Chains A and B, each alone.
Chain A
Amino acid sequence: MKKFSVIFAACAVVGLTQAAIPPIEGANTVGFKAIAAPGAANTIITVPFEACLGGGSAGMLADLVATNGLTSAAANPADADQLVVLTTNGLDLVYYYYWYQTGQGWTAVTTEMLMPDGDAQSVTPPAATAFEVSRGLGFWIKRAPSATETLYVKGQVSAAKQATTIKFGLNLVGYGTVTPFTLNGSGIDWTGAYGGTGNTATSDKILVVAADGSFTEYFYFVKPDGWPVGYDALDHKWITKSYTLATATIPAGSGFWYIRRDAGSFTFKPDGE
């Protein structure tokens, strides 16, 4: 009888506790996306997801890059997969390094940045669990030589359209959705991209990096008045260095360099936000 009472009491406590926890409701969809990133190579990736249950807020670096299949190391960062994020310390562009430490997850690496005056300035990144990565921001993954071909990013699928600010100089960006992205695809709003004087030496430039470290450049072209009709089809398009239309398709989850050559910024709206 005493035993029955104890069991009954325990069940009652569990039942009351469960009743006190509100059920998770909503239309949240968790995404899990495979991205090609070969071993012994550097790849620009972009996370097409947001923080789970974050209501549209940016996820944290440590949460967005899944550790499935990654290469860890106990003590030597060079033997492990690394994440490299281009960001700003308020004055300069800096790279934050993280390595996948066995049993610890993404661990920040303190590096030294050589300043113009020759002095070395220490750069200590925030913890990966506290570093926000907005959808559409690109960053590098440096795969260890023994790494597998594929890595995964995860997070909450967002139906919201993407808007990424492109500033003067170097930008590491991507298309924050789970579909491939074509530079001259329909529905992409490039308003604000700079076409220079027609000579691509002055226009905005995109660099797509291949797995072997080589890259292909594309330039934004705006045809000046009076130019021959041969340039008509290229007007307000991304073109190659040979002045042909860019046909590159950037896989979902891949990022690229955007070199902004005009002063001021513009908003990259890959889905025509």
Chain B
Amino acid sequence: MRNAICMAVLLAFGGVLTSQAVVIHWAVDTPLAGTTSAQLVYVSSGTPAYTDFALSNGSALGDVVSGLAITPAGIGEQSTTDVTRGDGAYYVVLFNGTDEYAYSTTALLYSDTDAITADEMAPALGLFNPAGFSGWSPVPEPGSMALLCVGAAALALRRRKQV
């Protein structure tokens, strides 16, 4: 019974989220040289940052854009879905394939109606196209994190056996 109630609440909550979805339209005319992929990131305040092997400030949204969408003329238009926000902003984060990232030096405000579609009957005509980016900064590999975790777990197990 409790499970059924929880499921109903979750479904209702999911329905609310679905109905409040927005779509953010973005592209990049002039990405940094060496860009191999990109992603949209939401932050409630500050700028996107990576520490401890993960995005420490912000939420990554949608799929990572790569392949032919990184064209000789920039990154083609993307549409990324998010829930309705009451504050914060969106940044484009670039990756260069050598464990480095850069984020746009301008952001798209959560309430921008030119680039954010909130109503299917009124699609946005504009898009977020940041002109500048921070320099490349190192981003730790998730693979390294996994290796460290495995190593730490092995050490802990060994010590426990010795005790």
Give A residues with C-beta under 8 Å from B: 42, 84, 95, 140, 169-170, 197-201, 205, 207, 209, 212-215, 217, 219, 224, 226-228, 230-231, 234, 241-244, 257, 259
Nearest to A169 among chain B residues (CB) is: B125
Nearest to A199 among chain B residues (CB) is: B73
A242 contacts B67, CB within 8 Å? yes
A198 contacts B68, CB within 8 Å? no
Distance in Å from the Cβ of A177 to the closest Cβ of chain B? 25
Knowing A200-B27, A201-B127, say if A242 contacts B77 (CB, 8 Å).
Answer: no
| Chain B interfacial residues counted at CB < 8 A | 26
A170 contacts B76, CB within 8 Å? no
20 extra interchain contacts, Cβ-Cβ under 8 A, other than A213-B120, A227-B71, A241-B79? A95-B121, A169-B125, A199-B27, A199-B29, A199-B71, A199-B73, A199-B77, A200-B76, A201-B77, A205-B77, A212-B18, A215-B23, A217-B77, A219-B77, A227-B72, A228-B72, A231-B68, A243-B76, A257-B123, A259-B123
Q: How many A-B residue pairs have CB under 8 A?
A: 76
8 A Cβ contacts from B10-36 to A? 18-19, 21, 23, 27, 29
Distance in Å from the Cβ of A132 to the closest Cβ of chain B? 22
Query: Which one of B68, B76, B78, B129 lies within 8 Å of A230 (CB-CB)?
Result: B68
Distance in Å from the Cβ of A214 to the closest Cβ of chain B? 7
A242 contacts B68, CB within 8 Å? yes
A201 contacts B129, CB within 8 Å? yes
Distance in Å from the Cβ of A97 to the closest Cβ of chain B? 11
Docked CA distance A207–B74 (Å):
22
Name the A residues within 8 Å of B109 (CB-CB): none
Docked CA distance A169–B79 (Å):
18
- 26 pairs, CB–CB < 8 Å, chain A vs chain B: A42-B121, A84-B121, A95-B121, A197-B73, A199-B74, A199-B76, A200-B27, A201-B77, A201-B127, A201-B129, A205-B77, A209-B120, A213-B18, A213-B19, A213-B21, A214-B21, A217-B79, A219-B77, A226-B72, A227-B71, A228-B72, A231-B71, A241-B69, A241-B76, A242-B65, A242-B67
